[in-house]
Amino acid sequence: EVHLAESGGGLVQPGTSLRLSCVGTGFSFDDYAMHWVRQAPGRGLEWVSGLAWNGGAIRYADFVEGRFTISRDNAKNSLYLQMHSLRLEDTALYYCAKDDAFDVWGQGTMVTVSS
């Protein structure tokens, strides 16, 4: 069964850092692009970042403003999102999604930025 599992979320203070992880199982992880998408409480979906199967073609949403770094380790079937300078407005459920078809999603990991 194809499965994505995010981890690494938590409650952090503004200005601090956090690293999210996503492990993919049940498919050839290194064949697919991967993405991070977030959803603030009660709000819609917002694409954060994505990268190609080989770690290239990295793209970010404008609101990232150089604060986040996406990466992957295909040997570990893992996708990462390193987040720095977190803001109150970064509070959201962060999902990873498979492929440019966004055909498989994890359950998400919650990031809460609060003082």
Partner 1 sequence: QAGLTQPPSVSKGLGQIAILTCTGNSNNVGFKGVAWLQQHQGHPPKLLSHRNNNRPSGISERFSASRSGNTASLAISGLQPEDEADYYCLVWDTSLDAWVFGGGTKLTVL
Quick one: residue 86, left, alpha or beta (phi over 0 = left, psi -120 to 50 = alpha)?
A: beta
Minimum Å gap between C-beta 20 and partner 1 is 15
Minimum Å gap between C-beta 76 and partner 1 is 22
Determine if 1 is a binding residue for partner 1 (CB under 8 A). Answer: no
* Residue 102, Cβ density class (10 Å: 0-12 exposed, 13-18 middle, ≥19 buried): middle
Q: Are 68 and 61 in contact (CB under 8 A)?
A: no
Binder of partner 1 out of 26, 45, 87, 88 (CB under 8 A): 45
By CB under 8 A, name the binding residues for partner 1. 35, 37, 44-47, 50, 59-63, 95, 97, 100-108
